[in-house]
């Protein structure tokens, strides 16, 4: 069994049902359109909480500039690495470079959107993750697609450009899932977001920013079933549960199995 977390930055749950592959996913996976992220609903704090299963008040990263934790909590990749599992990251927003500590990844692929644009950068990170399936065969893959957050900040959440970026992100998800299906390996795949957004921003304690979608596709997750009471901090403990690894005592999230 191996796991994949696919995160689409700034993806709000409302409107996803109009995307054919998202609808297909809601029929194949357990899912919720009502999971919570943490406050502040800002990209790096939310990702830190996803990977370290503690609230920002505990990990201490409250802006998009990483600061070392004062009382360090081990993150998902450190825990998996300690238990002999290999982890790989594919991302196109450089601030995420500190989500795992040096030495805990077998591959880290970053490409900047600055010259290429996010459409191409999303395609390249997906290509790299697909190549890694055969080259590295990681036990845990994190695939980050940054375009919708960028579209939201520039053009507004829930506008035409934003929806286009979300639809195209799902095209990349579908392409990746197609390659995953060709492998003779059992996977559990999480598809989620770090936060939502409204107008041209996010970070507030309001439902538009705080509510995120979560799909979990795998043999422990019944097709079409609603996931109750999910929080972004629950993803790491669910991954360790799938690997039958005891999570650190400090982790605040719960396993969704």
> What is the binding site for Zn ion (CB under 5 A)?
9-10, 43, 149, 194
Shortest distance, position 91 Cβ to Zn ion, whole Å: 12
**CB closer to Zn ion out of 63 and 255:** 63
**CB closer to Zn ion out of 149 and 234:** 149
**CB closer to Zn ion out of 64 and 255:** 64
Shortest distance, position 122 Cβ to Zn ion, whole Å: 14
Q: What is the 3-state secondary structure (H, E, C) of 69-125?
A: CCCCCCCHHHHHHHCCCCEEEEECCHHHHHCCCCCCCCEEEECCCCCCCHHHHHHHH
Task: Report d(CA 122, CA 5) in Å as an integer.
Answer: 15
The alpha carbon dihedral of 96, 7, 190, 249 has a sign of: positive
Shortest distance, position 46 Cβ to Zn ion, whole Å: 7
Short-list 114, 113, 110, CA closest to 99: 110
Shortest distance, position 55 Cβ to Zn ion, whole Å: 17
Residue whose CB is nearest to Zn ion in the complex, by number: 43
**CB closer to Zn ion out of 139 and 209:** 209
Shortest distance, position 236 Cβ to Zn ion, whole Å: 18
Short-list 221, 236, 182, 196, CA closest to 26: 221
**CB closer to Zn ion out of 96 and 129:** 96
């Amino acid at each position: 069994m191996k796991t994949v977390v696919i995160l689409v930055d700034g993806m709000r749950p409302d409107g996803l049902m109009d995307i054919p592959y998202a609808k297909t996913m809601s029929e194949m996976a357990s899912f919720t359109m009502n999971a919570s992220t943490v406050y502040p609903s800002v990209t790096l704090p939310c990702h830190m909480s996803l990977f370290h299963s503690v609230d920002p008040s505990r990990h201490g990263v409250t802006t998009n500039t990483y600061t070392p934790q004062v009382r360090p909590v081990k993150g998902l990749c450190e825990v998996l690495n300690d238990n002999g599992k290999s982890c790989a990251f594919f991302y196109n927003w450089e601030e995420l470079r500190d989500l795992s500590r040096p030495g805990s990844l077998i591959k880290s692929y970053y490409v900047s959107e600055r010259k290429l644009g996010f459409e191409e950068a999303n395609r390249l990170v997906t290509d790299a993750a697909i190549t890694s399936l055969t080259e590295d065969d990681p036990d845990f893959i994190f695939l980050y697609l940054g375009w919708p957050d960028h579209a939201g900040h520039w053009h507004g959440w829930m506008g035409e450009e934003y929806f286009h970026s979300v639809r195209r992100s799902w095209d990349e998800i579908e392409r990746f899932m197609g390659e995953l299906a060709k492998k003779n390996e059992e996977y559990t795949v999480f598809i989620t977001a770090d936060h939502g957004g409204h107008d041209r921003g996010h970070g507030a304690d309001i439902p538009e920013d705080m509510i995120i979608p979560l799909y979990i596709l795998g043999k422990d997750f019944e097709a079409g079933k609603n996931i109750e009471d999910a929080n972004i901090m629950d993803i790491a403990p669910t991954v360790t549960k799938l690997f039958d690894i005891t999570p650190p005592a400090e982790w605040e999230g719960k396993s969704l199995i």
